[in-house]
Amino acid sequence: MTRPRIAILGRFTESASALRYRGVVSARALLEGVWAAGGDPVTLLPGDDADALDWTTRLQGMDGVLLAGGGDLDPCHYGGDSQDPSVYDVDAVQDTADLSLATYCLTHPIPTLAVCRGLHVVNVVRGGSLVVDMPAAHRHMVQPITLEAGAEPLGTPGEILHISCYHHQAIDRLGEGMIVVARSDDGTVEAVTIDAPAWMVGIQWHPEDTYRDDPRQRRVFEDLVARARDARAAHAR
């Protein structure tokens, strides 16, 4: 069976090895995680013109979406201070594209996994806000979390997951239609289910960091691919 195609909006980068120009990239580990789960990841160019934001056209042939991690979302989008010195890698075109794609996924029946920045973008679209600068203790670490009631899209309530954290920002005020299903010991939101026309889950951590050695992290990608495969079959009927 043809692999379900998973759309991932690329990230702008000022430099990349072997390129003579600035680039548009997706994290290799993220793409490999989707591939290992049976999907076919497709990186899309971010843009802010009408054609670039026409997701009905651009997502034709795509079976799912992964809203990926990346730099900071401009705090102006949630009532914060754009001049905050802790904010980095803000790009207006990237923000416009991400916010637009997240809005589309929240209103159309396409299975979606939101990771790190992707979760932040969804939260802001739904009227939430962000912690602008998390303590450094939330970066470069693996920590246990316990899944709470309603966490069935990620596992069994009470199940312990070991998650790879690189948190510079996190959810502050929770957006509408989002239910917290896991927190870290200090209360940081680590996972949510999202009210949307299709399966939609958001996680603060990075499953691509540890999926090779941790079956529970592989399942995050496998669940997205399985839902995308189901969506493709339903559309074919």
Cβ-contact 191, 170 below 8 angstroms: no
Distance in Å from the first CA to the final CA of the chain: 16
Which pLDDT does position 153 carry in this prediction? 84
With tokens 């009470």, the residue in question is 158
**How do strand 130-131 and strand 170-171 relate by DSSP bridges?**
antiparallel
Which pLDDT does position 237 carry in this prediction? 76
Question: What average pLDDT does this structure show over 40-49?
Answer: 98
Compute CA distances 45 → 7, 81, 94, 102, 175, whole Å.
10, 28, 10, 15, 27
- C-alpha 41/C-alpha 218 separation (Å) is 15
Question: What average pLDDT does this structure show over 142-163?
Answer: 92
DSSP secondary structure letter of residue 171: E
Report the percentage of the chain scoring pLDDT > 70.
100
Q: Extract the runs of DSSP E, i.e. beta strands, from the chain.
A: 5-9, 11-13, 23-25, 40-44, 64-67, 112-115, 130-131, 139-146, 160-166, 170-171, 178-183, 189-194, 200-203
Q: Which residue stretches of 74-158 are H helix?
A: 92-107, 117-125
Which pLDDT does position 69 carry in this prediction? 95
| Domain 5-236, CATH | 3.40.50.880
Instruction: For 85-100, write each residue's pLDDT tens digit.
Output: 999 899 999 999 999 9
- C-alpha 164/C-alpha 214 separation (Å) is 11
**How do strand 11-13 and strand 112-115 relate by DSSP bridges?**
unpaired
- C-alpha 229/C-alpha 77 separation (Å) is 34
Which pLDDT does position 152 carry in this prediction? 87
Which pLDDT does position 17 carry in this prediction? 80
